[in-house]
Each structure stands twice: as C-alpha cells, then as structure tokens.
Amino acid sequence: MTTRLPVGARTVAGLVAAASLVACGAQGGPANGSRGASEPRGAAASLEGARQVAATSPTGTTLVLEVARSIGERARGLMGRAEVPPGTGMIFFFEQPGRHSFWMFQCLVELDLVWLDAQGTVVDVEVAAPPCAAEPCPSYVPDGAASIVIEVAAHESARLGLVPGARVLLAPAPGASAP
C-alpha cells in the first residue's frame, strides 16, 4: 500500500484528514514511498497558469484537458461526474517523477489512466479502471516513473494511440489562461 498525498483541504489539519478522501485522482505519493505533489512544477513549468491543456495524441487528435492545479482540484479529480465526453479529461502534474498511484474512489464511470514522463512519452496505461464506491479501493500504479497523468474516458487511450512509448504534445489550450 502506498502513502496517500495530503490533498484536498484548506488547513494543515484538513490536509491530514483529507489524505483519505482523494478520488479519481492522485491517491498517494510515488509507490516508492516518497512524497510528491505539493504544487505542480517541473513538467508543468511551461503550462503554469493554464486552466486547460491541449494534448495532441499520436493519432493527431487534440484533447482539451482540465488541469488539476490546486490541492482541492487534485482531491476531487473527476469524482462525481456522470460522463467524461470524448476529447476531454483531466491532467495532473507532479513536482517529481515517481510511480504515482491513483484510485477510483467515488468515481461514477470507468476511466483510462495514462502516465507520461516529463517529455510527454507514455510510460504506462491502465485501461477502464472501474469505479469504486467504498473503501478499500485498489490502487493503480504505473510500471515506471511518471511526471504527468492524464485521465480520459474508458477505452479512449486505444482510440488515441496512447500506448507505452507513444508521445503526447502538450500546450496551453487557446484562451485557457487563469485570470
């Protein structure tokens, strides 16, 4: 079992309590036990301030991904959403590369989880991770170190050519800067 990230609260006490409430998103630090995701840096440096990222897949399809920028956004992830339309999803940036685990607690739909390194190369893919209504929920951990994770609707990764070794190009989505 990995250690969960302290995400999803406004106070230090809330951070500790919220460590067990992360859903459809980053469950814990890297599987090697280190902590990782205070605020996005490194891979996110060129995307700082963007609310959305345009991700161009190997098939040439461009996705518009919501950026999980704040601790609260990371805690919520795609929790509670009845659908994730094709061409959309969420992206998580991590300060340090690692084997960042995700879980599906309180998600309503299956999701594909796509782990990327800092250069946008796919490291691993979990296809159709099922929702989990009650703990304990399984953790999904990549085979290798990643700095970025993308969540899309179930089976979208195959349609988009997102397989290990494929490259994803990331850029701020037009008009998606933070105020």
pLDDT of residue 45: 62
Query: Does 9 have pLDDT greater than 50?
Result: no
pLDDT of residue 178: 53
Report pTM: 0.78
What sign has the CA pseudo-torsion 52, 162, 85, 142? negative
Contacts of 46 by beta carbon, 8 Å cutoff, 6+ apart: none
Domain that residue 26 falls in: 12-172
pLDDT of residue 20: 29
Judge whether 177 lies within some domain. no
The model's pLDDT over 13-33, given as tens digits with 9 standing for 90+, comes to 232 223 323 447 666 545 533
The model's pLDDT over 129-143, given as tens digits with 9 standing for 90+, comes to 999 999 999 999 999
CA distances from 20 to 4, 7, 84, 88 (A): 7, 9, 24, 27
Judge whether 34 lies within some domain. yes
Query: Does 179 have pLDDT greater than 80?
Result: no
Judge whether 58 lies within some domain. yes
Query: Does 4 have pLDDT greater than 80?
Result: no
Where residue 121 sits, what CATH number does that domain have?
2.60.120.1140
Judge whether 161 lies within some domain. yes
pLDDT of residue 100: 93
The model's pLDDT over 45-85, given as tens digits with 9 standing for 90+, comes to 667 678 999 999 999 999 999 999 888 888 788 999 999 99
Give phi and psi for 171, each to the nearest 5. Answer: -155, 155
Contact of 70 with 43, CB cutoff 8 Å: no
Judge whether 78 lies within some domain. yes
What sign has the CA pseudo-torsion 132, 99, 21, 107? negative
Judge whether 166 lies within some domain. yes
Q: What is the mean pLDDT of the chain?
A: 79
User: Distance between CA 44 and CA 97 in Å, rounded?
Assistant: 12
Write out the two tokens for 100.
């960042």
Judge whether 48 lies within some domain. yes
Count how many domains the chain has: 1
pLDDT of residue 127: 98
Judge whether 134 lies within some domain. yes
